[in-house]
Amino acid sequence: MKKFINKPEDFVEEMLEGIYHAHPEVTHVGEDLRCFVRADPVKGKVGLVTGGGSGHLPLFLGFVGKNMLDGAGVGGVFQSPSSEQILDVTRFVDQGAGVLYIYGNYSGDVINFEMAGEMAEIEGIETSTVIGRDDVASSVIGEEHKRRGVAGIFFIYKVAGGASAQMKPLQEVARLAEKASSRTRTIGVALSPCIVPEVGKPSFQIGIDEMEIGMGIHGEPGITRKKLTPVNEMVDEMMARIFSEQEYKTEKEVAVLINGLGATPLEELYVIYRRVAIVLEQAGAKIRHVFIGEFATSMEMAGASISVLQLDDELEPLVALGVNTPFFKHITY
């Protein structure tokens, strides 16, 4: 294992200390560095809370900021934050309008957010929940409730953040966020494994000339492992899964996210996007918004994912809204 760390067991706290030093616009609740919040909560606004394991930056805490999220519970590498940490974040971000939880469909996260929500309700804090389930490779059509949440959760953050910034009430923010969730599809591909610092060895094995389509961001098995193909062929195979669940006859506009998993050069992400744009346009879609870079990583895993959000008149203005967070800035003119 070759990593820029001191002790593996100190990795998360030292990472957080670095972020707090670099970004004074965020802070933590009390003494717990893993209760990550905006330093300037907005009175009367619905609070937006996410959370999940470390190892995925900028996912989760990296999207806490203006016009996006208000707080995040930070777990260990690939581990859920505790219900107590989520509750502490909830108390801090509640500014009188309730709190919306947004997180991926993983058992530990589901259990701990549900517990935190129950405790928050006892304290008089109204909560609602929207779960990211965008990974088309993780379950079949008709069983979408079983799907994992991956990079497409970014679109839920974007829509919920925009709706909350417009001071919409909790149930309306939740409705729009759920709409974004239901209209987002993602599929990924991995070329190499990652190494969790406290484990010290690769999370899985894959041949130097192989790729695995559908692999999850924790190394969960994909749907097919095969010899690496030219990128056009690979993208066509991946997009076929998305096209099986989206059509663009009446609602043509889409937002596209090309996400690197941690070790994929930006140049290669643009090569992937080139083909994605071609096949989407051939399918009748009109690409309205494009986001390319690292949004949900898996430590140093080489690979990428493609997310497509099918827009409508409600969702498009919220995706278009400018945001300012430590790890992501969307500037509008």
Among 108, 88, 53, 93, which Cα is nearest to 296's? 53
Q: Is 218 a catalytic residue?
A: yes
Question: What is the Cα–Cα distance from 97 to 31, expressed in whole angstroms?
Answer: 26
- Amino acid (1-letter code) at residue 199: V
Do 321 and 161 contact (CB within 8 A), yes or no?
yes
Q: Which two tokens stand for residue 314?
A: 């409600």
Among 129, 52, 132, 45, which Cα is nearest to 93's? 45
Among 266, 262, 73, 71, which Cα is nearest to 157's? 71
Strand order through the sheet with 26-29: 26-29, 32-38, 71-77, 47-54, 99-104, 127-132
Question: What is the Cα–Cα distance from 228 to 97, expressed in whole angstroms?
Answer: 50
Which is catalytic among the residues 21, 28, 145, 218? 218
Q: Is 56 a catalytic residue?
A: yes
Among 104, 28, 106, which Cα is nearest to 64's? 28
Which is catalytic among the residues 21, 23, 28, 56? 56
DSSP H helices, 204-306, are: 231-243, 266-282
Residue corresponding to tokens 């208000």: 70
Query: Catalytic site residues?
Result: 56, 218
